[in-house]
A and B are shown apart, each in its own frame.
Chain A
């Protein structure tokens, strides 16, 4: 199934400067795998060393946060839009 993945501005430089990429996938996890398979450099910015999504990477399917769905097992269908949205964090001390 073809789904559209919207790439946030800071990551477009690693995705051929595209705002969105179409991939074939049945779940969110498959879509992100297809995306990082196509654009290897995206992987370190989306996933931590243990392979899980970084805590400040938010993923939505048609505007619904996948944390409230079935996370990376959330099913997608033809024409769905997956959005990757940053949250921003930091601070003075460790």
Chain B
């Protein structure tokens, strides 16, 4: 799953990629079981911005339901930038969702992080990423 995110980030480099994380929300652990790669709708500034429109969010929710999964978060890439959330990321984030960021440096995938927004929107918590045989758990 992580490889698919990396591949998407490499394909769209030097632009940001984005997509939905489909899986299950467990007790303190989330499993990413499938992905829905989406188009970055920020045509004006795709090198350092991404956007998933409300219609695409609805598509992701529908796809999750059809696959008997939940929409548990989102991934995007930071081309030639670190894999930590920017102020812009934090300001635009929703609570509850997991946000995975992959840093793509000179076209090569590097660090990958995951984080969740605090209830008060002021900060975020990192989430550890564990790779299992066929699944990526966060």
Contacts and interface: CB of A to CB of B under 8 A. Distances in A.
B8 to A, nearest CB: 15
B94 A86 contact: yes
Interface string A55-85: 0101000000100000000000000000001
B78 A92 contact: yes
A87 B121 contact: no
A86 B54 contact: yes
A90 B76 contact: yes
A9 B16 CA distance: 25
A19 interface: no
A91 B54 contact: no
Interface in B82-107: 85-89, 92-97, 99
Contact of A85 (B47, B50, B54, B89): B54
Contacts of B81: 92-93
Contacts of B57: 85-88
Size category of the B interface is 35 or more
Q: Determine which residue in A44, A56, A58 has the highest number of CB atoms from chain B within 10 A of its CB, and name it.
A: A56
Contact of B53 (A10, A41, A87, A91): A87
B52 interface: yes
A49 to B, nearest CB: 11
B74 interface: yes
A91 B89 contact: yes
B120 interface: yes
A90 B119 CA distance: 18
A84 to B, nearest CB: 10
A60 to B, nearest CB: 8
A45 B94 contact: yes
Contact of B49 (A58, A65, A87, A91): A91
Interface of A: 8-11, 13-14, 41, 44-45, 56, 58, 65, 85-94
15 contacts: A14-B119, A56-B92, A86-B57, A87-B52, A87-B57, A88-B57, A88-B94, A90-B49, A90-B85, A90-B88, A92-B78, A92-B79, A92-B86, A93-B48, A93-B86
